[in-house]
Structure 1
Amino acid sequence: MDSTLVTDVCHHSTNRTGRDFIVGDLHGCVDALRYLLHEIEFDPARDRLFSVGDLVDRGAQSEEALALLEKPWFHAVLGNHEDTLIAVAEGRLRRQWWYGIGGSWAAALPDERLRHYAEKLRTLPLARVVGSGSERFNVLHAEFFGSDADLDAGVFSDEARQRLLWGRELAIGNGDPERQRGLSLTYCGHTPMRELQQIGSQVFIDTGAFGPGGKLTIVEARRSRRWQVTVDAARAEGAAALALP
């Protein structure tokens, strides 16, 4: 179950002892995550949780979401909101612009603390590849056009990187799924959906946890099982008091 970082793609061996799950865009909704991990009886000694990115912004628990990066069972890819945090920390983007897309939780955050978070986030890959052959699945934030071999190469142009973080062509129907020929089942987020939806090789699992009526979704890799909960429902069930694994 060890992983090796190769440029912007991290490869993980197949999990032979437990289960693999993927969670949609967290956006600071950690209480909903606590509830779902309890629901699926997550075992940190055997199970793994992969994140499609966007841990921060919009929700109320962004710093708690960033703390998940310290958990050995938690494996995230870089999302556009993390990429934005890094740009602000490096002085390439104004804080006010970031606040406009949900970064206002950091308004009182000292620059030193922001740089600390940015340093951790810079280590996140753009994609994670789990297993091989018929057992393989990929995890990324927005969208990717190409084959498994193209993804494995881990050498992305500026345009491809932008698409991995911000792309919505496939989700809104402007991208040709044929451009994903040879791409294994790939879990992604970024574009909120009312319900899970597979388009081409990609399964969109962001169901808008931060917004009114939105839910956080966890799926079991390569299986049809899914679990969802709203932040309000999770808190009503006492999720805030549940310990993370």
Structure 2
Amino acid sequence: MTPAIVPTVEHHDVNRTGRDFVVGDLHGCVDALRYLLREVEFDPSRDRLFSVGDLIDRGTQSEEALALLDKPWFYAVLGNHEDTLCAVADGRLRRQWWYGIGGTWAAELSDEKLRHYGQRLSRLPLARVVGTGRERFNVLHAEFFGTDADLDLADFSVDERQQMLWGRRLAMGNGDPSRQRSLSLTYCGHTPMREVQQIGAQVFIDTGAFGPGGKLTLVEARKIERWSVTVETARVEGAAALALP
């Protein structure tokens, strides 16, 4: 049997019946997500949640974050931390290197379990595109210099793939936003910001959920509404006892 080809860009129709939300880098902070979903009265029968990637590492609930992939309302893109897990699971990278960037939660995982996670994560696209025309928005992990047409073509070089997973030039002021003139509003994470910030076509929504003073941020796509909470506040408010939709 020929293995299925995994699309590097996945397209979604506009949500005509509910709302679309985008969440920043989770990094194992699922209790904060529970709290935010309650705050926005998330309806799993109509609403969708898109993730900019980096579900795992650094926080304390990486396996709970991976379980979100089984939810029919949850749509993630590949982040650099997921890509690293895949490399370790495939034997292309040593576990110790991964542990150095937050992968120590997996120290007790068997190679078999790690391969299972790697196979699941390797099927995530590099980008998701929602809608067309003026209703369109994109979701990816780090950064992309190009047009919507370039993104739709989904023919990325090794360097472009690396940039989409690890790039920080735009966020650090070293990239030219004018190269994104024909790119629709694009939500991304990877580089922690104090607050949500738009640079060029990209909206950076990673606000450092895992770190001291950081918080998890949720935005409603193509709208100005945003919600943020620290893990500590979420737990004080009883988020750990909340069931995910």
The answer to whether 1:75 aligns with 2:63 is no
Q: 2:34 matched to which residue of 1? A: 34
Q: 1:198 matched to which residue of 2? A: 198
Structure 2 residue identity aligned to 1:60: T
Please list, as runs of the form range in 1=range in 2, the aligned pairs for 1:165-176 lying within 5 A after superposition.
165-176=165-176
What is the root-mean-square deviation of aligned Cα atoms in Å? 0.8
Unaligned runs of 5+ in 1: none
> Distance between the aligned counterparts of 1:122 and 1:6, measured in 2?
8
Q: Is the 8 A contact 2:6 2:123 kept in 1?
A: no
Q: Percent identity?
A: 79
3-state DSSP of counterpart to 2:63: helix
The answer to whether 1:91 aligns with 2:91 is yes
> Distance between the aligned counterparts of 2:7 and 2:126, measured in 1?
9
Structure 1 runs (4+) greater than 3 angstroms displaced: none
Q: Is the 8 A contact 1:25 1:190 kept in 2?
A: yes
3-state DSSP of counterpart to 1:22: strand
Give TM-score scaled by structure 1 length: 0.98
Please list, as runs of the form range in 1=range in 2, the aligned pairs for 1:10-159 lying within 5 A after superposition.
10-159=10-159
Q: 1:227 matched to which residue of 2? A: 227
Q: 1:173 to 1:201 in 2, by over 3 A?
A: same
> Distance between the aligned counterparts of 2:240 and 2:84, measured in 1?
28
3-state DSSP of counterpart to 1:145: coil
> Distance between the aligned counterparts of 1:118 and 1:89, measured in 2?
6
Shift of 1:7: 2.7
Deviations 1:48-105 (A, max 9, x none): 0000000000000000000000000000000000000000000000000000000000
3-state DSSP of counterpart to 1:10: strand
Q: 1:211 matched to which residue of 2? A: 211
Q: Is the 8 A contact 1:6 1:154 kept in 2?
A: no
3-state DSSP of counterpart to 2:22: strand
> Distance between the aligned counterparts of 1:90 and 1:123, measured in 2?
14
3-state DSSP of counterpart to 1:11: strand
Give TM-score scaled by structure 2 length: 0.98
Shift of 1:181: 1.6
Structure 1 residue identity aligned to 2:23: V
Structure 2 residue identity aligned to 1:7: P
